[in-house]
Amino acid sequence: MTTTQLDANRVNMALISAIVAVATIGGLLFGYDSGAVNGTQGGLTAEFGLSEAALGFTVGSLLLGCAVGAFLAGRLADAIGRRKVMLISALLFLVGALIQGFTDVHAMFVLARFAGGMAVGAASVLSPLYISEVAPANIRGRLTTLQQVMIIIGLTAAFVVNYFLAQSAGDSLGQLGGREAWRWMYLAQAFPAVVFLVALLFIPESPRYLVSRGRNAEAETVLTQLFGPAEAARKVGEIRASFVADHRPGLKDITGGRFVFRPIVWAGIMLATFQQFVGINIIFYYGETLWRLAGVSEEVALERNIVSGAVSIAAVLAALVLIDRIGRKPLLMIGSAGMAVTLGAMTWAFSGAGTDAAGNLMLGEMAGYTALVAANLYVIFFNFSWGPVMWVMLGEMFPNQMRGSALAVAGLAQWGANYLVVQSFPSMASGLGLAGTYALYTAAAVISWFLVKALIVETKGKELEEMTG
């Protein structure tokens, strides 16, 4: 019997919906924390007297924390449970937001940003993991895609908060309530962090984690709440059979042969890294800077960030409708092709850019219009495909025995690639120019199409116990 054959009346969609709603708050915080820095760079530079290199490190310290947090969360999820690690991440979100909003010491700010990054990294791997382990197979894709919806909502919320705070204060350096406006851009996430922390106390642990620790009765109780008693007893047996008897899940489960990792783990690493190599987070992290390089004012740049965020939400919602109908692999391939075309158009637009008397980059009317349209279409293709589908697949593509460890490695690779792309952008933009930089992202999108075709196995509609490595 598969999940698609379950009696729909026995599936407790109210409880599943509540679990998904709570888990995806982590995605909201993930998105907000990632986007908040977009409008605060001027404030950071003025407050701490930062050089360009120091600003880059301050911004990038979040991503270093993300890499560490993703790896540790994947490992700790197998040791202490999915829910406990998410509780730790909620605490880190809260503490990081408060310290970034109040500290006058640069080292403390960087440490808080690193801690916030650990929370982001943990949420990025655990929310889709947790959702995939409680959702019915026939709707697992769309429920896990809600994580990406919340990430984009969080990013858009950060852009909106940045915009209105800057408007209210006159600029990001102005005062509001006795503090600089840019400080409030960080403090604003404290409220959803508290909501996340409290809400996590009311959802159950993943039944697959419980079985992996030999807590079968507790797992059956959770599964009974989700799917009814008959299905719960059957699923406990299937989950138990998917774990090896001689040891608990660990890093050795993902290794094998001369290529160190198993093929399925390499496929996950490919998905994780190429999601970043196409350059999406240049739009998110350096959106304001990018558009100012293109010759628009700070106010217009912030407005375009908001437009990009709204477009992203619409694209992810389209993916949510289609992911369990046409599958994961087709969406990835459509996205790769669309991103290759739109990135190529942006490469062309920036190839003819000139400079004004002050040395600022300027685009002609046609090139500027092309860049704007191509950038938004690029965001649509990404968020229709690689944005949500990568996280969906990482949460479901690995066998139960290795899921936590494989996610630890893939999450580390994803955030490491993110850091590499973001840190390399300023020097690449000044050395190669924006056209050369976007040409490299175009090449990555083309390569990703062939890698997906060769390495990715469709997971639509399959039970997690059917996954093999």
In a domain, residue 405? The reply is yes
Q: How far is CA 152 from CA 34, 79, 301, 330, in A?
A: 10, 30, 18, 22
Tokens of 247: 């040891």
State which residues form the domain around 179. 12-466
Q: What are phi and psi of 360, to 5 degrees?
A: -80, 140
pLDDT band at 305 (very low <50, low <70, confident <90, very high): low
In a domain, residue 237? The reply is yes
Q: Could you read off the pLDDT of 202-251 as tens digits, one per residue? A: 999 999 999 999 999 999 999 999 999 989 999 999 999 998 876 788 88
In a domain, residue 4? The reply is no
Q: Could you read off the pLDDT of 274-285 as tens digits, one per residue? A: 999 999 877 655
- The model carries a pTM of 0.85
Whether the predicted pLDDT of 173 surpasses 60: no
pLDDT at 287: 57
Q: Could you read off the pLDDT of 98-146 as tens digits, one per residue? A: 999 999 999 999 999 999 999 999 998 999 999 999 999 999 999 999 9
- Report which of 435, 408, 403, 440 is spatially closest to residue 421, judged by C-alpha positions: 440
CB 398 within 8 A of CB 345: no
Q: Could you read off the pLDDT of 175-204 as tens digits, one per residue? A: 766 678 888 888 988 999 999 999 999 999
CA distance 234 to 220: 9
DSSP 368-398: HHHHHHHHHHHHHHHHHTHHHHHHHHHHHSS
pLDDT at 284: 59
In a domain, residue 151? The reply is yes
- Report which of 184, 189, 192, 188 is spatially closest to residue 167, judged by C-alpha positions: 184
Whether the predicted pLDDT of 46 surpasses 80: yes
Looking up tokens 């989950």, which residue turns up? 239
DSSP 228-257: -HHHHHHHHHHHHHTS-SSS-S-GGGGB-S
- Report which of 122, 167, 109, 455 is spatially closest to residue 306, judged by C-alpha positions: 167
Q: Could you read off the pLDDT of 405-424 as tens digits, one per residue? A: 999 999 999 999 988 887 78
Q: Tell me which of 40-54, 79-93, 296-310, 347-361 is least confident.
A: 296-310
In a domain, residue 355? The reply is yes
In a domain, residue 198? The reply is yes
CATH at 209: 1.20.1250.20
Whether the predicted pLDDT of 292 surpasses 70: no
pLDDT band at 76 (very low <50, low <70, confident <90, very high): very high
Whether the predicted pLDDT of 386 surpasses 50: yes
Q: What are phi and psi of 206, to 5 degrees?
A: -60, 130
Q: Could you read off the pLDDT of 12-38 as tens digits, one per residue? A: 899 999 999 999 998 898 888 777 776
In a domain, residue 2? The reply is no
In a domain, residue 193? The reply is yes
CA distance 433 to 38: 21
pLDDT band at 2 (very low <50, low <70, confident <90, very high): very low
pLDDT band at 401 (very low <50, low <70, confident <90, very high): very high
pLDDT band at 3 (very low <50, low <70, confident <90, very high): very low
Give the chain's domain count: 1
